[in-house]
Amino acid sequence: MAVDTPHAATGRPMDRPDIWGVVVRLTDGPMRAVQRVLGERRMPYVFLLPNLAFFTLFVFVPLGLNLWYSLTGGAALFPSQRPYVGLSQYSFLFDCGSVLDASTCREDHFWRGVHNTLFFVVIQVTLMVLFSLVTALVLNRPIRGRGFFRAVYFFPVLLSPVVVALIWKWILQRDGVLNAAVTMLGGQKIIFFVDPSWAMFWAIFVSIWAHMGFYTLILLAGLQAIPRDLYEAAAIDGTRPMRVLLRITLPLLWPNMIVVIVLALIRGVQTFDEVFVLTGGGPGTATLMVVQYIYETAFANQSQNFGLAAAASVVLGVVLFVLTLLQLGFSRRKAGA
Amino acid sequence: MRLGRTLAAALMFCGLGFAGPAFSETTVRIAWYSDGNEGEVLLDLLKRFEASNSDIKVVVDQMPFKAINETLPVQVASGQGPDIARVVDLGGMSRYTLDLRPYLKDPAYWEKNFGPFLTWMRPDGDTQSIPGFMTQLTVTGPFVNKTLFEQAGIAMPGAKATWDDWAKATKAVADKVGAPFPIAIDRSGHRVFGMVISQGGKVFNDKGEPAVTDAGFKATSQKLYDWHKSGVMSRELWGSVSGATYRGANDEFKNGQVVLYMSGSWQIAQFDKTVGNAFDWVAVPNPCGPGGCTGMPGGAGLIAIKTTKDPKAVGRVMDYLAGEDVLREFYGRTLFVPGHLGLSAKGVDYPAASPLAREALTVFTKGVADVAPLAYQVQAYRYNRPMFTAVISRLGQAVSGETSLDEAYKRIDADIAQQIAERKK
């Protein structure tokens, strides 16, 4: 047996040949041949090709199909059977007296979804970033049971959104735990999901509860990366805690905050599963989000209006694209800083 | 010795090879949903079929009702669907059905026993094909918690009582016994149309096109709206979800929280099994109005899907399941109103039914006679689903206080026109 075969990755001699060494030896010849034909500069694209093929198949092709569907009408499923209708699905979506008042729009459900999503995103992201920051600041201090609390805050992140929503639905329903507690204390049962304000409140609350741990973790990592000597210098100078927070912690945490804000924004705009299971979009359309609108227009209610749903997803896609560009921009700025 | 064993093994191998085709199985997939025990009964019946038809294996995919309505149509349209499916949107699924006539032993038997219901399953303009049969006929109608009436000491309204009589009586009972739901109606457009026709709604114009929001419809909508305001109906059912999402109150009824539950005959087996001795429940005739005392007919059909790779095997499975003896047992064990004319005439024995369930079955079977012709017309209308969804979605918004009734009427007409136009493209 050859005992001096070098390791594929490290180049160090190995005691026995491993599977990767065999693979490298087998592919070495063909890859050299490819490199001879294409040249060294084009070789990276060969390595990117498998991933690019998957990406094309599962992202670009569906994107293109979605765009095509948004330009077609009818109830047929196959693109070839669907008549081309130009931009009429978009003009139907945007046929409004004023987009600020959903009731003046022909497709009022879409605009109610847009307004609800905007409201949800603004409130949920603001509160979530705030709570995540406070929690991260607390968990960054040498408190007793810190590891336990870190786990407790992160645990909901591990749960499936449907499970989260069902747990809270059971807590909040007419005969749920919360109402049992309310009646035990002498209060009246509250039917939370028939009141638009309560329904939106709980949708936001549950969403924050479920996702806060993830953002707390990012901020905690940022806090731990701040050099300790800055705090020591501040302590020697007798700087007040609030001033330390405002002048040292927050400025140095800002790049992480940006990442958290943009990620939370993207996640907020995409909200569907938790709210759908928790409130079903009701009462009326009080918690109907854009993604639920798209789902229901295409698949639920047997309406199968794929064209309109596709047009709405293109609009949503544009919003998400802008948010993603923002995140990329901030990430690059952070990397360059 | 070794040579002998080798030869024997070779012969066995060859034998198996020749015998191979006799053991080859065709798999037939059925997409099925259950309200009660019908899934178990079907599996039991299919075991017997497989025992005497060893070349066919039948796989039953038990799906939620929601998936049958939302996922199955897309699956079938993409050619990836099952061979057979149990569906309720018969008109909507008609374009995917297989004409079974060439594969049936006796198509005349099917015409004779399922004739009127075949029109519900046929595609537009088709008067001949046999796409499937009804696994059950349903009629919508109310169930009443009799025990709550007795506890309240209030008499139940009689056979020809109006919706207003019931509203008054159930509210009085609920107030007295502390029940949260005097009247609960399934959040479904289908249920609303029974009431609409009873209130004199005409649904269609002279050309046979939908003209839903007429005086009868408005009278019904106003009643539903007022009941939600006065507490006869709780907003917890219609007001707690959005769009055309279905929301039943069977759990609330089983928990003794509902005085009158407007649903349909398909609930009988479930209530018979789950309510037990907790309270007495009865089915009562549909409440009356100026247009009669009608419920809505309906039901679930078992249809063959045209993308099947083995229509002959599908024909054999369907022939077996639609056989009179098999259906007699199926209806009898599931407590379903038969969708087989021969069995309807002869009557089906329900040996497993409790006295309460038997009584309910009698009420619903009698109720079939009261079903208005217009109700059958609505049920058979190809685009009835867009009507049902628009009505429940917009009335849901109105009772939640999001829009006015007048706004809802305008939206209902616009939604129906838009959805039908889209489907016709």
Q: Please name the residues between 118 and 157 in chain A that touch chain B, using a CB distance below 8 Å.
A: none
- Residue A286: its chain B contacts at CB < 8 A? 242, 400, 402
Residue A5: predicted pLDDT: 53
Mean pLDDT, to the nearest integer, of B136-164? 94
Nearest partner of B31 among B74, B84, B73, B77, judged by Cα = B84
Closest residue to B400, CB basis, from A83, A284, A305: A284
Query: Are A231 and A306 contained in the same domain?
Result: yes
Residue A12 counted as domain residue? yes
Amino acid letter, residue B110: W
Q: pLDDT band for position B82 (50/70/90)?
A: very high
The confidence score (pLDDT) of residue B21 equals: 44
pLDDT tens-digit readout, B177-204: 999 999 999 999 999 999 999 999 999 9
| Residue B43 banded pLDDT, cuts 50, 70, 90 | very high
Predicted-complex ipTM score: 0.79
Model pLDDT, residue B16: 45
For residue B319, give the nearest of B28, B22, B25 by alpha carbon: B28
| Nearest CA-CA partner of B345 in B368, B374, B370 | B368
On whether the CB atoms of residues B103 and B399 are closer than 8 A, the answer is: no
Provide the CA A246 distance to its chain's centre, in angstroms.
Answer: 29
- The answer to whether residue B23 scores a pLDDT higher than 60 is no
Question: Rounded mean pLDDT of A37-65?
Answer: 91
A219 and A172, same structural domain? Answer: yes
Helices (H), B305-352: 311-321, 324-334, 341-346
The pLDDT score that the predictor gives to residue A17 is 61
> Does A51 share its domain with A175?
no
Cα(B180)–Cα(B175) distance, integer angstroms? 8
**Any domain includes A92:** no
Chain B touched by A282 (CB under 8 Å): yes
- Say if CB B120 and CB B133 are below 8 A apart: no
Give the mean model confidence (pLDDT) for residues B403-409.
95
Q: Answer whether residue B136 shows pLDDT above 70.
A: yes
For residue B4, the model assigns a pLDDT of 53
Chain B residue with minimal CA distance to A76?
B77
Reported as a pLDDT band with limits 50, 70 and 90, residue B404 is very high
Write out the DSSP string of B224-271. Answer: HHHHHHHTSB-HHHHSSB-TT--B--HHHHHTT-EEEEEEEGGGHHHH
pLDDT category of residue A7 using cuts at 50, 70 and 90 = low
pLDDT band with cut points at 50, 70 and 90 for residue A175:
confident
Pick the more confident residue, B285 or B424. B285
pLDDT of residue B1: 46
pLDDT of A91 above 90: yes
Instruction: Examine the domain organization and report whether A176 and A262 are in the same domain.
Output: yes
Same domain, A148 and A116: yes
The backbone torsions φ and ψ at residue B242, rounded to the nearest 5 degrees and listed phi first, read: -120, 175
Q: Which domain holds residue A13?
A: 1-38
Provide the pLDDT for residue A14: 55
| B27-137+299-346 and B139-297+363-424, same CATH topology | yes
Instruction: Clarify whether residues A217 and A148 are in a common domain.
Output: yes
Which chain B residues are Cβ-neighbours of A192 within 8 angstroms? Answer: none
Indicate whether A146 and A237 sit together in one domain. Answer: yes
Mean pLDDT of B392-421: 94
Could you tell me if residue A88 is inside a domain? Answer: no
Which residue bears the tokens 């009127």? B116
- B155, with CB counted inside 10 A (0-12, 13-18, 19+), is exposed
- Please give the C-alpha separations between residue A190 and each of A181, B233, B252, in angstroms, as whole numbers: 11, 16, 17
Measured between CB atoms, does A74 come within 8 Å of chain B?
A: yes
Question: Quick one: average pLDDT of B248-276?
Answer: 92
**pLDDT band (50, 70, 90) for residue B399:** very high
Domain boundaries, chain B: 27-137+299-346, 139-297+363-424
Q: What is the mean pLDDT of chain A?
A: 89
* A167 found inside a domain: yes
Backbone angles phi, psi at B314, to 5 degrees: -60, -45
Q: List residues of B whose CB lies inside 8 A of any A CB.
A: 69-71, 73-74, 77-78, 89, 92, 180, 234-236, 239-245, 247, 385-386, 389, 393, 396-397, 400-403, 407, 411, 414, 419, 422-423, 425
Give the whole-angstrom CA distance, residue A306 versus residue B86.
24
Q: What's the pLDDT at B17?
A: 45
Give the lowest-confidence range in A115-119, A174-178, B298-302, B362-366.
B362-366
Q: Calculate mean pLDDT across residues B383-400.
A: 92
Closest CA of chain B from A73, distance in Å: 6
Q: Do residues A59 and A12 share a domain?
A: no
Would you say residue B417 has pLDDT above 70? yes
Report if residue A83 sits inside a domain: no
- The fold adopted by the segment(s) B27-137+299-346 is D-Maltodextrin-Binding Protein; domain 2 (3.40.190)
Q: Does A81 fall in a domain?
A: no
| Distances, alpha carbon A280 to alpha carbons A270, A272, B110, B187, B266, in Å | 16, 10, 42, 13, 25
Per-residue pLDDT at B295 exceeds 60: yes
CATH class, range B139-297+363-424: alpha beta
* B320 band by pLDDT with thresholds 50, 70 and 90: very high
- pLDDT of the residue at B143: 97
Examine the domain organization and report whether A23 and A166 are in the same domain. no
* Greater pLDDT, A11 or B348: B348
